[in-house]
Amino acid sequence: MYRVVLVDDERLIIRGLSSVVPWKELGCEVCGTAYDGKTGLDLIRSLRPDMVITDIRMPNMDGLTMLAALHSEYPDIQTTVLTAYRDFEYARQAITLGVCRYLLKPSDLEELKETIRLMASRLDALPVRKEEGPEEETVQAAGNHLVRAALAYMKEHCAEQHLSLNEVADHVYVSQWHLSKLLNRETGQSFFDLLGSLRIARAKDLLGNSQMRVHEIAEATGFSDVAHFSRSFKRIAGCTPGEYRNQRD
């Protein structure tokens, strides 16, 4: 029996899917339900289901990034989106990230049954079930999406002194370990190297386009003290902050 998790913030939808779909007849069983994206992801990580049917327009959730997180961490998982959100480009991106079907609410029973059979057939075709599959095209696309989302968040928040790998990983719905692996694979750099480069890039902008003092720039770019800032700046930029400012004058 393939195990299924249902995620939707509409409780009526969850009740309907749980009771109306003939799961046993389709070789499946519902092993868990959740009413928001965060709880849904925690449940999926805990239960490791074979299939997920989920909405992607739920409060405080980036649906595409959530889908990318699922398919990047669990390449064999089969997902179907069931949503009222009618947007072709959004649907296209979801399919690119590995979604099996993008269904619009209200979806009829036969459409749901056909989709579940399709997901089951894909699972049947897998040679060996394993936690991490080959780097297929959709898995690569999911990883690329996550890295772009992580870097955008880091750029926006790099001036915050206590920005951590854990915070960024939470933002893109993956574990710290998985995000670290993705960043290294896609950029060749660690989280801390990337964060340092973003901070120094912002510092260069302030050195060249403001009258702020060096210690003020250090604080404004997330460094704990000016000595640490100066060492990091010289390591990355090849000169001290003062020398860089003089070169710009």
Domains and CATH numbers, the chain: 2-125 (3.40.50.2300), 194-248 (1.10.10.60)
DSSP for 76-103, please give it: T-EEEEEES---HHHHHHHHHTT-SEEE
> What is the C-alpha end-to-end distance of the chain, expressed in Å?
70
pLDDT tens for the 249 residues of the chain, in order: 999 999 999 999 999 999 999 999 999 999 999 998 888 889 999 999 999 999 988 877 888 898 999 999 999 999 999 998 888 888 999 999 999 999 999 889 999 999 999 999 999 998 766 544 445 788 899 999 999 999 999 999 999 999 999 999 999 999 999 999 999 999 999 999 999 999 999 999 999 888 899 999 999 999 989 999 999 999 999 999 999 998 876
Residue type, 55: D
